[in-house]
Chain A
């Protein structure tokens, strides 16, 4: 679905303030020169953008403010089967804020986050993807400050463990045993 000018104005307004009332959105959205959309018209547009999965309105988090640390993991994998296995294992991992398939020197780029540098290290050693079967080569770049996006769409607080997905067990992890990490989904 191509976006028209009204969709774009609505998306922009909701990027700046996702909980803006339909009444206010009406004032910010112009149909033509000076004509405004009706608030029911806007409500329908928002519903359509959401239903077609083009847009989602979410509470994004500034993890810099929460003093979280981040790392990017670049992975080269043996074959496409292995790529799919890693995607399957980590797409619901609560620490994953970025997971993309790429073309070139690497197959996957994964962005992960941790409450502190220690937890991030333990994650990489214990439950991260670098030790998985089929990984030919991996590289890790640490980052402490993400400039863009300032607010990341990541759900750290689902309280749902995804251990069954990646197959790593919190109760075997040092960070969990020493209390640095409260376990998958319980950050």
Chain B
């Protein structure tokens, strides 16, 4: 669906404030020269954008403010099947804020976040993807500062363990046993 000018104005306003009231949106969304949208019209547009899966208003988190540490993993895999295995295992991992297939020197780029550098190290050694079958080469790049986006959507506090997905078990992990990590989904 191509977006029209009204959609774009709504998306721009909701990017700035996702909880902006319909009455305030009514004041900033212009239909044509002097004509404004009604707030019911705007409400319908928002619902439509959400139903089509284009828009989701979400609480995004500022990693810098929370003093979270993050890194990128660049992974080269032996086959497409192994790529799919990794995607299946980690697409719901609460520490993953970025997961994308790429073309070039690597096959996958992953972004991982942790409460501290220590926890990130253990993640890489214990439950991260780098020790998996089918990995030809991986590189770890630490992030020292997040500039864009300032706020990131991450499913950190679901309270739901995804150990069944990646197959790593928290009670075998040093960080969990030491009390440095509360276990999958309980950050």
Contact = CB atoms under 8 A, between A and B. Distances in A.
B16 to A, nearest CB: 8
Interface stretch (B33-41, B118-126, B144-152): B144-152
A139 B96 CA distance: 23
Interface stretch (A9-17, A119-127, A128-136, A163-171): A9-17
B11 A157 contact: yes
Interface in B35-62: 52-62
A79 B14 CA distance: 38
Contacts of A146: 98-100
A50 to B, nearest CB: 9
Contacts of A54: 61-62, 65-66
B155 interface: yes
Nearest to B11: A157
Interface residues of A, number: 63
Contact of A57 (B9, B19, B54, B145): B19
Contact of B104 (A101, A139, A159): A139
Interface SS of chain A: mixed
Interface in A16-39: 16-19
B3 A58 contact: no
A146 B111 CA distance: 12
A5 B148 CA distance: 27
B75 to A, nearest CB: 12
A72 B56 contact: no
Contacts of A58: 14-18, 57-58, 60, 151
A82 B89 CA distance: 39
A178 interface: no
Interface residues of B, number: 63
B62 A149 contact: no
Given A54-B61, A60-B57, A19 B157 contact: no
B141 A157 contact: no
Contacts of B143: 100-103, 109
A158 interface: yes
B102 interface: yes
Given A147-B87, A153-B15, A155-B12, A53 B65 contact: yes
Given A19-B19, A140-B104, A55 B99 contact: no
B158 interface: yes
Contacts of B149: 97-98, 152-154
Contact of A99 (B14, B97, B147, B151): B147
Interface of B: 3, 8-19, 52-62, 65-66, 70, 72, 87, 91, 96-106, 109, 139-159
24 contacts: A10-B59, A15-B155, A55-B62, A56-B150, A59-B10, A59-B11, A65-B53, A66-B3, A97-B149, A98-B98, A102-B141, A103-B143, A105-B141, A109-B141, A109-B143, A141-B105, A141-B109, A149-B97, A149-B153, A153-B15, A155-B15, A155-B16, A156-B8, A157-B12
Closest 3 CB pairs of A and B: A59-B14, A18-B57, A14-B59
Interface of A: 1, 3, 8-12, 14-19, 52-62, 65-66, 70, 72, 87, 91, 96-106, 109, 139-159
Given A100-B146, A147-B87, 6 more contacts: A56-B18, A58-B14, A59-B57, A61-B55, A62-B56, A151-B153
